[in-house]
Amino acid sequence: MSWLGLLFGAGMAALGLFAGPYGIALCVVVLFAMVFDMNRRSREIHTDLQKIKSKWHLLNPEEEERFTIEEELEAYERKMNREEGP
C-alpha cells in the first residue's frame, strides 16, 4: 500500500511540475489528504486493538485506566450530541 502511495505521490509531483502553480497546489492538497487518511486509519486500528486487548484482559494497568477514561469520554460525548440534536 505504501508503494502505491509513493508512486501516486511521484505522479502528482510530476503533474505539479508540468501544470504550474495550480498543479503544485493540487499535489500539496492531495498529499495532505493522503497523510490525514493514513493517520485516521492508524487511530482506528489502535482503538480496535485496545478494545480487543480489553476484552481479553491483556491491558496493563495504565492502559486499562486510559482505555476506561476514553470509553467514558466517548459515551459522554455521544450523550451530549443526542441532547443537542433536533
Q: pLDDT by residue (tens digit) across 48-66? A: 998 888 888 887 888 888 8
Distance CA 36, CA 50 (A): 21
pLDDT score recorded for residue 1: 55
pLDDT at residue 42 in the model: 93
- Residue 64 in contact with residue 50, Cβ under 8 Å? no
Quick: pLDDT tens for 18-35: 777 777 777 778 788 889
- Per-residue model confidence (pLDDT) at position 86: 62
